A and B are shown apart, each in its own frame.
Chain A
Amino acid sequence: MLELRDVHKTFNAGTVNEKCAVDGVNLTLEDGDFVTVIGGNGAGKSTMLNLIAGVYPVDQGKVLLNETDLTPLPEYQRAKFLGRVFQDPMMGTAATMEIEENLALAYRRGKVRGLGHGISNAERKLYREKLATLGLGLEDRMNTKVGLLSGGQRQALTLLMATLQKPALLLLDEHTAALDPKTADKVLQLTQEMVDRDHLTTLMVTHNMKHAIQYGNRLIMMDSGRVAVDIRGEEKKNLTVSDLLEKFHIENDRMLLSE
């Protein structure tokens, strides 16, 4: 499925602001894995996801997806394989365009965008059904400009857009961090439903330990640009917050000792 081979990324190399954000990550995901990613601020979680998505090139290493080498591809070409939701609700949708126009953009992900005409009625019907599954009443507001929606509604819509064309890999970067707890739970529940329904392979970054434990079949913790802890299977199922905190401390102590 996804394979990161010794991936490195340093920002502002050779300047005083030099920052090694990802420092040799090796990670292999199995088909259908739902991996939650935790780690302190600046641990390199977003950078890792951005390297997979091709927002910037890797310095070293390889990104492979289903045996395809994504490393040389620009971001817009990798998008064919990826569904993405960002931390900032403003980032995943076009505010000045209508809900159905945003969906139509997502529906054409990975396809040729030619001079064929806009949105067919069959398509509109599909969008309406999909929007109804969000349970937010958006199916009756298809011609509303997305800029008028709340953050939670926009995140739910972005999630739908990310999965409208089944992605080989779903990348969620703290996609509930900007939402109030209730809305965050709703969006997470939708996430789980979509992952289950389409059997999606998922990487989900979160700062919420409870969510990291509750969701997914595998958990990784990043520290200083590396994967420090990798928990899966039975161990993941039985994981508690205190287990996790303990590991966090051990990792921190080890880091302190090694420095």
Chain B
Amino acid sequence: MEIANLLNALPGAVGQGLIWGIMAIGVFITYKILDIADLTVDGTLATGGATCIMLLHAGFPVWVALLGAFAAGLGAGLITGLLHTCMGIPALLAGILTQYALWSVNLQILDGANQSISVDKYPLLISSRYVSTAIWIVALFVIVIIAVLYWFFGTSLGCGLRASGANPNMSRAQGINVNLNKIIGLMLSNALVALAGGLLGQYQGFADVKMGIGSIVIGLAAVIIGETLFSRIFRNFALRLLGVVLGAIIYYVVLQTISWFGIDSDFQKMLTAIIVAIFLAVSYWKGRFARPAKKRAAVNSAKGEVK
């Protein structure tokens, strides 16, 4: 248990965390903004990775490969959105169905269960072999994505999307097409997840049909850690998104530290589940203890201010 080993491993954890941070922003859009737990992402991450790697194999430049991954994510989100809004399938189940189908799609794209890609032969944007470069590049992606989302959710369309998640009844009464917004949100979310998948495939040097399994839990972990730790200081929307990315980084650093303590990586999934459960419980308890005070304040202001 050399501390130097841990320190050496930390940049790698940060790199991974940043990539998963992009994925977590996608989860944030569905889970926090639309109030939907979208399980499509478990399939979409692999779809993104597979699309990116195969396009690179086919000789396309790396930005085309990443755009391809992004587009594949849009498609996956569209399907879940249509299943949910046009066919009346509950969002959770619609996501599970798409994810299930994506397994076969991903096998087709990959022409097998996995494909590797070598940074020596292909012009990859990032690779775990050059961790610090990867960190800078992915950080740039994160900044651009947050900036674009910050702009988007400030537009009339974006505000309508937020309202659709916050109060669908009110949104319809104000003439907002809630179903359309749900579809747009699901598409955007899955596109970001697929983009993260494309980056992850390059970073780790392969795409695997199994690479997305459980990713919804990691995404949720990042969202919940970010919101729980930073919600008091980060109120601005862009900062909240940044908090989510920081949540993903913290998650990977914690994981790295745990494995440094010599805990078998087989336990990683269980530990993740425990982390998510603890943080969910913390925000629930915070709500429970905060509520009486809030209620009192509301009653007081009702008495005092509305005369």
Same complex: yes
A100 to chain B, nearest CB (A): 11
Q: Is A136 a contact partner of B306 (Cβ separation < 8 A)?
A: yes
**Separation of A103 and B163 alpha carbons in the complex (Å):** 12
Asked if A117 is at the interface of the complex by the 8 Å CB criterion, the answer is: yes
A180: interface (CB < 8 Å): yes
From B155, B172, B294, contact of A114 by CB (8 A): B155
Judge whether B166 and A75 touch: CB under 8 Å.
no
Beta-carbon contacts under 8 Å, A84-130 to B: 84, 86, 91-97, 101, 104-106, 108-111, 113-118
The answer for the CA separation of A148 and B302 in the assembled complex, in Å, is 11
In the complex, chain B residues whose CB is within 8 Å of the CB of A148: 294, 297-298
- Residues on the A chain within 8 Å of B175, using CB: 76-77, 79-80, 108-111
Binds B, one of A12-20, A151-159, A194-202, A244-252: A151-159
The reply to whether the CB of B259 lies closer than 8 angstroms to some CB of chain A is: no
- Interface membership of B157, Cβ < 8 A: yes
Q: Is the CB of A113 within 8 A of B160?
A: yes
Total interface residues on A, CB under 8 Å, equals 45
* Most-contacted residue by chain A among B154, B157, B170, B174 (CB, 10 A): B174
A41 within 8 A of B: no
Number of contact residues on B: which range applies? 20 to 34
- Proximity bits, B280-307, A CB within 8 Å = 1, else 0: 0000000000000010011101100111
Check if B159 is an interface residue, CB within 8 A of chain A: yes
Q: Name the CB-closest residue of B to A116.
A: B156
B163 touches A118 (CB 8 A): no
Cβ B170 vs Cβ A91 within 8 A: yes
Task: Check: A183 CB closer than 8 A to any chain B CB.
Answer: yes
User: CB of B167 within 8 A of chain A?
Assistant: yes
**B residues less than 8 Å from A111 (CB atoms):** 175
Give the contacting residue for B302; candidates A55, A79, A151; CB below 8 A: A151
B151: which A residues are within 8 A, CB to CB? 117
Contact with A along B154-188 (1 / 0, CB 8 A): 11110110110011011111111110000000000
Q: A134's closest neighbor in chain B, by CB?
A: B306
Q: Is the CB of A136 within 8 A of B155?
A: no
User: Does the CB pair B159–A101 fall under 8 Å?
Assistant: yes
B157 x A183 contact (CB < 8 A): no
A186: interface (CB < 8 Å): yes
Which residues of B (263-295) have their CB < 8 Å from a CB of A?
294
Give chain B nearest CB distance to A221 CB in angstroms. 26
With A97-B163, A110-B175 known to touch, is A117 a contact of B154 (CB < 8 Å)? yes
Question: CB distance A79 to B174 under 8 Å?
Answer: yes
Q: Are B176 and A76 in contact (CB under 8 A)?
A: yes
Q: Are A153 and B154 in contact, CB atoms less than 8 angstroms apart?
A: no
CB distance from A159 to the nearest CB of B (A): 13
**B162 x A106 contact (CB < 8 A):** no
Task: Determine whether the beta carbon of B173 is less than 8 Å from that of A75.
Answer: yes
Are B157 and A113 touching (Cβ within 8 A)?
Answer: yes
The answer for the CA separation of A97 and B306 in the assembled complex, in Å, is 21
A65 within 8 A of B: no
Query: Please, which residues of chain A bring their CB within 8 A of the CB of B171?
Result: 76, 94, 105
| CB atoms of B174 and A106 under 8 A apart | yes
A105–B163 touching, CB < 8 Å: yes
Instruction: Return chain A residues, CB-CB under 8 Å to B307.
Output: 182, 186
B-chain residues with CB within 8 Å of residue A91 when the two chains form the complex: 167, 169-170
Q: Is A42 an interface residue (CB 8 A)?
A: no
A113→B301 CA distance, assembly (Å): 34
Q: Does A208 contact B (CB under 8 A)?
A: no
Q: A68 to B259, alpha carbons, bound, how many Å?
A: 68
Let me know if A53 is at the binding interface, CB within 8 A.
Answer: yes
A41 to chain B, nearest CB (A): 21
A152 close to B306 (CB less than 8 A) = yes
Docked complex: A126-142 residues within 8 A CB-CB of B: 136-137
Q: Cα distance A106–B163 when bound, in Å? A: 11
Q: Does A203 contact B (CB under 8 A)?
A: no
> Is A51 positioned at the interface, with any CB of B under 8 Å from its CB?
no
Q: Which of B163, B166, B173, B177 lies in contact with A84, CB distance below 8 A? A: B173
Q: Decide yes or no whether A204 CB sits under 8 A from chain B.
A: no
Asked if A156 and B306 make an inter-chain contact with CB atoms under 8 angstroms apart, the answer reads yes
Task: Identify which of A76, A109, A110, A186 contacts B306 (C-beta below 8 A).
Answer: A186
Contacts of B294 in A (CB 8 A): 148
Binding site for B on A (CB under 8 A): 53, 55, 75-77, 79-80, 82, 84, 86, 91-97, 101, 104-106, 108-111, 113-118, 136-137, 148-153, 156, 161, 180, 182-183, 186
In the complex, the 6 A-B pairs of residues with the closest C-beta atoms, listed nearest first: A79-B175, A150-B302, A152-B306, A94-B166, A113-B156, A94-B167
Having A108-B175, A113-B157, A113-B159, one finds 6 other A-B pairs with CB under 8 Å, namely A108-B156, A113-B156, A117-B151, A150-B299, A150-B306, A153-B302
Binding site for A on B (CB under 8 A): 151-152, 154-157, 159-160, 162-163, 166-167, 169-178, 294, 297-299, 301-302, 305-307
A selection of 21 A-B contacts at a CB cut-off of 8 Å is: A55-B172, A79-B175, A91-B169, A91-B170, A93-B170, A94-B163, A94-B167, A94-B171, A95-B166, A97-B159, A101-B159, A104-B156, A105-B163, A113-B157, A114-B156, A115-B152, A115-B155, A115-B156, A116-B155, A151-B302, A153-B306
